[in-house]
Structure 1
Amino acid sequence: MPTTLESLPVELIATILGDLDLESLVKVSNLSRRLRHVASDSSLNPWKIPITRNLASGSYEQSFYHLSLRSTVPRSNWIDILTLAPPGFILFESSLPNLRASEWEECFRRRFIPGWLKWKKENTWRESYLKMLYRVWHRTYTACTTDEAWTKYVVFNRNGSVNELESSSRGFSPMAIFAEMQFQSNLSHLSPTIRVVATFADVRVIAIGVLHMPRSSLTVNYNARALLHPPGIEATSTATRPYNKLTHPLPAESHRNYPLYTPGGGDRRWGFLEEEGQQWVGGLMITVQLIRPRAIGYEEDESEFAGSRNQFASFTWHDLLTIAPWMKERVTKFIDGPGLGI
């Protein structure tokens, strides 16, 4: 007997369907009951690969805009779409799916940094997700700060303590704040260095510090290096300590293995300067920058940070210990506000 597509094992059929573009997959999934069954099986899920291709390219097929109207598309795919797709696409261009409250909560927690849970309040998870996404879209394209008058940020001190500080959102300038930190530490003659700690769908976590060849170990900020270089991990080798990949929030493609090293050029936490003997000295400032939608594989260069507008959001203790849980055992004191603490 000649072999036909429908006579193949369902796993092989799903693999073949996954190689199709979305338009073709929509048509093929309606050709027969067997193909429809394979296409709608959430464990086989041939839609995942073409959906991932669309998200990565940033240029969407026409069928992608209204996938929620297709009963053959497993609902689980929408967790990925609502986590990674640009805000404007979700809010203004796509047809939204009918998800359970637990699924909307999963979308919220996978997409947004945990400090933003303060905006949840009494809203449903669906309403909270959409309101937060609109805030992100609005803040990304404007300098409006009416909904967040004060922007929080974190500073690692060289004595091992960490301060959570805040500044007026209207004139929030990380480089100006760090310049004052340099002046107070007698480091104004040195140029600041910017590192992207991790990138997510809507924001990237930025570290601003000074790399220098110190004359004394007293000026070295060992926690700054520990944040950017999780102990036991090197850029050229696998982890020797049991770190788990971060999933809530879910990193973008440029940092998909975070906190492990992500090869490919987007993950630049391991800088060549440090390999030449320079070390982080003085304080290290951590803030969050809102980013405009790009293809998932695209990573903005650190130099683009300096010319940005007031497109920053708060970064809190909760956020720090979520993206870098190993720092909890290294920090000697967590201090709310300025000063050395009590």
Structure 2
Amino acid sequence: MRFEHLPVELIAEILSELDIPSLITVSHLSKRLYLVTSDSALNPWRRPILADLLAHDYDRTLKHLSVRSVVPRQNWVEILSLARPSFLLYEATLPNLRSCEWEECFTRRFLPSWQKWRKDGSWKEGFLKCVLSPCDVRQTIMVHIRNRVLFRLWHRGATSCTTDEAWTKYIVLNRNGSANLLEASARSFNPVTIFNQMKMQSNLAHLETHIHSVVEFADFRILTFGTMATPRTQASINVNAHLLLNPPGIEPRERSSGSAVPYYAPVSGRSHIDDHGVYPVVAASPVSEVSQVHRLPLSSFTYSRLTRPCPAAIHSNYPFHTPGGADLRWASYAEIEEGSRWVGGLLITVQLLGSSDGRQYATFNWADLWTIAPWLEEIITKRIDGQGLGH
């Protein structure tokens, strides 16, 4: 039997194993192969395109893939969601997409709060449209072409400019179950300095700061700053800090009886979450809202893989564990088993990628927190905009 006489699904599966240049060549060998490769339902392009994006050293054919009619438009949603900003801004020939497709690209790449930069413009304008504005870089006034969101991220990651965001918002989870939305000057924003001040105010300056990457995306990562210690009283335990990093109902289990490497899977066969890794085992006061969290019905927490925004490959299964060694949200389990707990406040912020010194940050607010940790929305007892009532 000739290759072209095989079922179209099987042909598409075989062709998806090729790299992009080879697939371009094969797609023009016959009319049948052209029809198979151009079919948006079969779409053999998705696998080689994703492989190229993950390799970071993009093939030169990826730059002008949009001019080839044989490539379904839907593949550009993946490219616009995952490719590095400099490639999209300065190298790639972008296709004409519908408004709904630009919206999907926006929501798959950026945090919900960043829609403020789109304002009343179209989704394409919010993602790519150029405007002119002055920017002070290295004490020299220069004029930059600034794209609404993508360019802002690339520009802020490559320079110390804070013209478009004077204040950086961040969230602090308090040990009493409440949370504060705070802000600081973007030009001098340093979460390490802020958290050190928090530790001094809480009498925890002697404790080591634990920095965790909760989840990483194409342009940024979510970082937390917290402290762990053996608590003297249950009141000093920060329940929500544990819940953010270790979602209730997802816990470590051994991959096999002879393996010391844990994997992480949803708990099943229980009607209630019973996470004694951080909650008190003793009977808690019936009036304590925080102490009741571990008795919430398991049905209250329904998990699905995060797709908007779309995590990077190292966290592709988020909020579930992603194998490969980069997902370290459960790294503190060894200390928890030895009696340590999260104590004091937990600071959450957004670090922009691409900066050589890693000191560029962006705003993180309530909508962003509910996006990356929706299970906290019904657990946090009080949301406070600004200082106060959270200590």
1:158-237 matches, within 5 Å, as 158-236=175-253, 237=264
| Cα deviation code 1:189-246 (max 9, x no counterpart) | 1111001111111110000000111122111101100111110001334213531111
Counterpart position of 1:245: 305
Q: Give the CA deviation at 1:124.
A: 1.2
Counterpart position of 2:370: 321
Counterpart position of 1:267: 327
Identity %: 55
Query: Secondary structure of 1:235's partner?
Result: strand
| Cα deviation code 1:150-178 (max 9, x no counterpart) | 00000000011100000000100100000
| Cα deviation code 1:242-267 (max 9, x no counterpart) | 31111111111111111111121111
Q: In structure 1, what is the Cα distance between the partners aligned to 2:60 and 2:345?
A: 49
Q: In structure 2, what is the Cα distance between the partners aligned to 1:316 and 1:174?
A: 15
- Given the two structures, how large is their TM-score scaled by the length of structure 1? 0.93
Q: Give the CA deviation at 1:274.
A: 2.9
1:82-101 matches, within 5 Å, as 82-101=80-99
Counterpart pick for 2:52 among 30, 40, 54: 54
Q: Give the CA deviation at 1:276.
A: 2.8
Is residue 235–residue 261 contact of structure 1 (8 Å, CA) maintained in 2?
Answer: no
Q: Does residue 277 of structure 1 match 2:361?
A: no
1:143-162 matches, within 5 Å, as 143-162=160-179
Counterpart position of 2:69: 71
Counterpart position of 1:26: 24
Counterpart pick for 2:354 among 292, 301, 312: 292
Is residue 164–residue 316 contact of structure 1 (8 Å, CA) maintained in 2?
Answer: yes
Is residue 39–residue 72 contact of structure 2 (8 Å, CA) maintained in 1?
Answer: yes
| Cα deviation code 1:99-128 (max 9, x no counterpart) | 000000000000001110111112111110
- Given the two structures, how large is their TM-score scaled by the length of structure 2? 0.81
State the one-letter code of the partner of 1:273. Answer: E
State the one-letter code of the partner of 1:45. Answer: N
Q: Give the CA deviation at 1:60.
A: 1.3
* Structure with a larger share of its residues in helix: 1
State the one-letter code of the partner of 1:172. Answer: F
Q: Give the CA deviation at 1:136.
A: 0.5
RMSD: 1.3
Counterpart position of 1:300: none
Q: Rg larger in 1 or in 2? A: 2
| Cα deviation code 1:76-115 (max 9, x no counterpart) | 1111100000000001000001100000000000000111
Q: Does residue 339 of structure 1 match 2:368?
A: no
Q: Give the CA deviation at 1:70.
A: 0.7
Q: Give the CA deviation at 1:316.
A: 0.2
Q: Does residue 308 of structure 1 match 2:306?
A: no
Is residue 321–residue 328 contact of structure 1 (8 Å, CA) maintained in 2?
Answer: yes
Is residue 234–residue 261 contact of structure 1 (8 Å, CA) maintained in 2?
Answer: no
Is residue 214–residue 279 contact of structure 1 (8 Å, CA) maintained in 2?
Answer: yes
Is residue 210–residue 280 contact of structure 1 (8 Å, CA) maintained in 2?
Answer: yes
Counterpart position of 1:299: none
Q: In structure 2, what is the Cα distance between the partners aligned to 1:259 and 1:15?
A: 29
Query: Secondary structure of 1:329's partner?
Result: coil
Is residue 352–residue 358 contact of structure 2 (8 Å, CA) maintained in 1?
Answer: no
Counterpart position of 1:117: 115
Q: In structure 2, what is the Cα distance between the partners aligned to 1:273 and 1:110?
A: 35
Counterpart position of 1:298: none
State the one-letter code of the partner of 2:337. Answer: E
Counterpart position of 2:286: none
State the one-letter code of the partner of 1:66. Answer: H
Q: In structure 2, what is the Cα distance between the partners aligned to 1:71 and 1:10?
A: 19
Q: 1:288 to 1:187 in 2, by over 3 A?
A: same
* Consecutive unaligned residues in structure 1, runs of 5 or more: 294-303
